[in-house]
Amino acid sequence: MIRKFLQVAALAAAVLAAALPIIPARAAGPATPNPEAKPMDLTHTALLIIDIQNDYFPGGAFELEGSEAAAGQARAALDLFRERGLAVVHVRHESVRPGSTFFLPGTPGADIHPLVAPAPGEAVVRKHFPNSFRETDLQAKLQALGVQRLVVAGMMTLMCVDATVRAAADLGYGVTVLSDACAARGLEFSGEKVPAAQVHAAFLAALGMVYAQVEPTAAFLAQARGE
């Protein structure tokens, strides 16, 4: 009885399978591009590169964690801005405070790193304070260029990037911070050591609350290219 039931069930399954159309499996492949996607309008936008200088790199007087990788991401953004003929402003720190040990005037460590070195015609601002607007002509240069929005890459996340982004927002600029195009250094507070990655994340998280849009370089570049 059971055997006969199984034979009937198998026959029914075979008939059903023969009656159904065969649907071939779809091969995996890249996502279909969105035909409606358009490159981001970067009119009135400038790339602001802050203090990517030799002393922050291996062998320098004040090495940061991940400085080489961050500079590589900054270069990717720089290439896009140069391709589009958009404004680029470099900020270079010189330490004149008594007791300073890095970014000393006239030393190789104070030079902008070759990976993001200014091209002819690109503005360079020299500063002596964490806030790139303080006692510099940065604001005047941006106004002359008609800049309304800044895309920021640089070092250190916890100091000059933070101070400059907050000042820029207070001055009315829209700001995007490229999170992986910035680098930080570990800190210590009340005997507790805070790793560089945590310092970096905490400062970016705080900026992202009010002062800036914070995103990885690849995400920004994809939007900029309409991908």
Tell me the two tokens of residue 111. Answer: 């030079």
DSSP annotation of 98: T
Element housing 181 (H / E): strand 174-183
Element housing 207 (H / E): helix 196-210
Catalytic residue, from 79, 141, 160, 162: name it. 160
Element housing 180 (H / E): strand 174-183
Catalytic residue, from 51, 55, 162, 180: name it. 51
String of b and e for 124-144 (b: at least 16 CB within 10 Å)?
Answer: ebebeebbbbeebebbebbee
Catalytic residue, from 55, 79, 127, 137: name it. 127
Q: 115 vs 15, 70, 87, CA distance in Å? A: 69, 11, 18
Note the maximum CA span of the chain.
100
| Residue 182 annotated among the catalytic residues of the structure | no
Helix/strand/coil for 43:
coil
| Residue 38 annotated among the catalytic residues of the structure | no
* Residues with a known catalytic role: 51, 127, 160
